[in-house]
Chains A and B, each alone.
Chain A
Amino acid sequence: MSLRVEGLSVDHGQLRVVHEVSLAVSPGEVHAIIGANGAGKSTLLRAIAGLHPPASGKVLLDDVDITREPPERRVPRGLAMVPEGRRLFPSLTVRENLLVGAHKARPGPWTLEKIYELFAWMPERRDQKAAQLSGGEQQAVAIGRALIANPSVLLLDELSLGLAPIVVSQLYALLPSLLRTGIAVLLVEQDVSQAVRVATWVQCLLEGRTTLEGRPSDLTPDQILAAYFGLTYG
């Protein structure tokens, strides 16, 4: 078992945004969290990555309690995140962005060369400033920057944000090759059909609470719709 979250609650000031959420992701699995805007998905992911200290609950990585560790110490333990909105270093070049990601890397399959192989356009443009890339290219660099640390658990927050559908499918098409290296993926996605297509497990959040979870094949679209918007059948 790679990543386990137990009863995690997270506050923004006085406001509780995530209520006692639990989940577990193992190597080779894609765990998708879906939910409407403001459901608390990003907050949950940020708490798991260590950017936002939770009010209660636990985060365990390979059965080690890392709840109180800062994010920079979680990276060498094998937890990496692609944050919402990509958050590249705009004044650094593509290569420099990747090198920053690599500076606390664990030993593993991903190197600068391997990232360049994964995204064939990258070597040519490695000396361009990240600010000059298109949205899809930036997202690719953000993924590369996280992968190059050789995480055992990869957190992805809304890869599709602001990207054309075709670019989104290209990015998601990478998932199988990542999984083959024994990585566990926890992703947040607003695009439900995309999430259902790639995930091995779907968990739906509504106002910070889990309203539905299960294998995608076991869930009907109506069930998901109801859980997503908080509708109840009358």
Chain B
Amino acid sequence: MANAIVQGLLLGGLYALFACGLSLVFGVMRVINLAHGDFAVVAAYLAVLFGGLQSGWLVVPLFAVAGYFLQRTLIQASIDRGPLTTLLVTFGLSVVIENLLLQLFSADSHSLSASSGSIRLTDQISVGRLSLAIFALAVVVLLGLQALLSRTGTGRLVRAVADDPEAARLSGVAHRHILGLAAGAAFATVALAGLAFGAYSSFAPASGTGRLLYAFEAVVIGGLGSLWGTLAGGMVLGVAQSIGAELNLSYAVIAGHLVFLAVLALRPEGLTGARSGAVARRSWPSLRLARAVRQAVRAKARQPDERARGRHPTKRSWWPVAGFVAVAVLAYLPYAVYSGTTDTLVNLFILLTLATMWNLLAGYAGLVSVGQQAFVGLGAYFTLIVAQNGMSPFTALPVAAIACGVAALAVSFLVFRLRGGYFAIATWVVADVCQLAISRVPALGGGTGQSLPGLSGIDPALLSAYTYWGALGVAALALATAWLLLRARIGLALRAVRDDEIGARSLGVRVGRARRVVYVVAGMGCGAAGAVLAISQLNVEPTSAFSVGWSAQMIFCTIIGGIDTLEGPIIGAVLFFGLQQALSQYGAWYLVVLGLIAVAVSIWAPRGLLKRLAETVR
């Protein structure tokens, strides 16, 4: 046990090293880099390519330079367009990087060999030289960053730009250059962390996600915006993981997640948060207020007819009619076409449901979740449970939806304690917890999954038609719910909040409640989609049911179709579906291309591809 604690404390150094780049980028640019973990993995692969750890002297400066230029181009462009865009762009980058690595290096894991050996402290406790070296490196890096920020002229300018970029420009500060330098420093630490991680354990293209979550957990446990808090947070996380591993090797990650969720529930300001949290709170309102006021004024300046056309679905009376006609026509399809076609359409309907839900979340309620796969997976597993108990899986559709709604309600009390990008990653952690927990239940097939009982007796053609109708029904209900929700008072409240949160709050709009309702509805929708998924695949498997790919797809559909319009996700799902069919033979390249398209669209066509095309033609 004592040994586990010591190992955990040392591991905390690695996590802190890994988290400080995330913390720096957030502190200065207010950007949560969702590709943070993937960049670290890239650094490790570069080291493999250049012949091992000793190539660090090349990789780290390379990353610093790359960070500078990435900030000056892509990241700055997305900052200029708003917080949502930065999340979408970095998430898109994460998808691109992961699949590019997969394509170039295959899914096999690699490792960087480092000198091993350990030092015995007592009979029970011995520490690895490598762990010790990484811990020392982390402390040196943290001290260096601290000194750079507080003692140098450039560090002062970085802090000034972080406080108020406009005022800094009025003092002659070339703010973009300064942000580029800060990003360069952050990327250098990312490279160091990637190399350290690569020396510590093996890595594969998909490792980035897990590492992002660890970094994020270290930051939140330690308290936002405090470098030394991050070290403390990393140590808590490290100890939790190594004690978990002591019990059972497979409990390591989940133990870390649980400690994180516990901290979030009990002490959302983090362990060191009392002081740093207060500082953050003092400097935040003015910034947030300024932003809200700017947005409100901008919204007012927008052409009134554009608002009426694009943003008020309530004014459209043809929606229900068009909907009924479309559903009637589509419902007839199984009588008219081969089941191959309807089976393909089932996937489209799943996508449509998911995209509609994500659009409600991010487009209307401002809740950028990248963890909706939690509810897709739970929906699939609730279906499995229902089927295992001898009922028809189709009766599971409403059961899964309701159960996921309840789960979403419970989860909301945790994740709603965080805002913006931190909310995004917290939802991701929850999804990871669900996956890890369910993989431990042998009755549900454990890590390999299980096939869905109760469907083998049905005639295949009939089953295919039932599945199709189920999927169609779920998609139609999802759209109808979205439409009704936006017509109701809550829709008005959400629009008011989106235009001017502070103003809306002061007028008595219950922002939290409106958001919670949307979150629960989205959980239900995704759960129902997960149930359809389980039925259509006849099989439930944890890694695919809880894949972050679901979130990537719903985000992608919403973005290319046009966020915060009802028809956006429909257009987006159809476009995405076409792309998927066209590119599917290219393996992982297809996700690379989709990720690049998503990044490009969020920057150059933030209101959707069709709108953008229409504008150019006009």
Contacts and interface: CB of A to CB of B under 8 A. Distances in A.
A and B pair up: yes
Interface in A92-121: 92, 96-97, 99-101, 103-104
Contacts of B172: 71-72, 75-76, 101, 103-104, 149
B175 A103 contact: no
Contacts of B159: 89, 91-92, 96
B170 A51 contact: yes
Interface stretch (A10-18, A20-28, A170-178): A10-18
Given A89-B160, A91-B163, A92-B163, A104 B171 contact: yes
Nearest to A11: B301
B300 to A, nearest CB: 9
Q: Across the A-B interface, give the 7 residue pairs with the lowest CB-CB distance, nearest first.
A: A104-B172, A75-B172, A13-B301, A87-B167, A89-B163, A71-B169, A89-B160
Contact of B174 (A15, A72, A90, A92): A72
A14 B156 contact: no
Interface of A: 12-15, 49-51, 70-72, 75-76, 80-81, 83, 87-92, 96-97, 99-101, 103-104, 131, 145-146, 149
B157 A83 contact: no
A15 B301 contact: yes
A12 B301 contact: yes
B345 interface: no
B282 A51 contact: no
27 contacts: A13-B302, A15-B301, A50-B169, A51-B169, A72-B172, A72-B173, A72-B174, A80-B170, A87-B167, A89-B160, A89-B163, A89-B164, A90-B286, A91-B159, A91-B162, A91-B163, A92-B156, A92-B160, A96-B160, A97-B160, A99-B153, A100-B171, A103-B153, A103-B171, A145-B171, A149-B171, A149-B172
B297 interface: yes
B310 to A, nearest CB: 15
B315 interface: no
B8 to A, nearest CB: 33
B173 A100 contact: yes
B170 A75 contact: yes
Interface in B128-175: 153, 156-157, 159-160, 162-164, 166-175
Interface size class of B (residues with CB under 8 A): 20 to 34
Specify which of B172, B279, B286, B298 lies most central, judged by the most chain A CB atoms within 10 Å of its CB. B172
B303 interface: yes
B283 interface: yes
Contacts of B282: 90, 131
Given A99-B153, A131-B283, A146-B170, 11 more contacts: A13-B298, A51-B170, A75-B171, A83-B167, A87-B170, A88-B164, A89-B168, A90-B286, A91-B279, A99-B156, A149-B172
Contacts, number: 88
Interface in B219-270: none
B158 to A, nearest CB: 11
B261 to A, nearest CB: 30
A211 B162 CA distance: 40
A146 B159 CA distance: 18
Contacts of A83: 166-167, 170
A173 to B, nearest CB: 24
A81 B170 contact: yes
B166 A51 contact: yes
A180 to B, nearest CB: 24
Interface in B173-188: 173-175
Nearest to B162: A91
A12 B157 CA distance: 29
Contacts of A131: 282-283
A131 B168 CA distance: 16
Contacts of B160: 89, 92, 96-97, 100
A78 to B, nearest CB: 11
Contacts of B301: 12-15
B427 to A, nearest CB: 30
Contacts of A75: 170-172
B166 A100 contact: no
Nearest to B287: A90
A145 B172 CA distance: 11
A114 B175 CA distance: 27
Specify which of B162, B167, B279, B302 lies most central, judged by the most chain A CB atoms within 10 Å of its CB. B167
Contacts of A97: 160
A48 to B, nearest CB: 11
Specify which of B153, B156, B282 lies most central, judged by the most chain A CB atoms within 10 Å of its CB. B156
Contacts of B164: 87-90
A51 B174 CA distance: 13
Interface string B121-133: 0000000000000
B170 A49 contact: yes
Nearest to A106: B172
Nearest to B299: A13
B296 to A, nearest CB: 12
B284 to A, nearest CB: 10
A14 B305 CA distance: 13
A72 B169 contact: yes
Contacts of A13: 298, 301-302
Contacts of B279: 91
Contacts of B168: 89, 100
Given A12-B301, A14-B301, A91-B159, A101 B283 contact: no
A43 to B, nearest CB: 11
Contacts of A80: 170-171
A165 B286 CA distance: 25
A88 B170 contact: no
B156 A100 contact: yes
A61 B303 CA distance: 35
A90 to B, nearest CB: 5
Interface in B195-222: none
Contacts of B298: 13
A90 B153 CA distance: 17
A70 B177 CA distance: 13
Contacts of B173: 72, 100, 103-104
A38 to B, nearest CB: 11
Nearest to B302: A13
A70 B169 contact: yes
B145 to A, nearest CB: 16
A72 B173 CA distance: 6
Contacts of A100: 156-157, 160, 168, 171, 173
Contacts of A49: 170
Nearest to B283: A90
A107 to B, nearest CB: 14
A101 B156 contact: no
A75 to B, nearest CB: 3
A80 B163 CA distance: 19
A155 to B, nearest CB: 9
Interface in B426-465: none
A6 B159 CA distance: 36
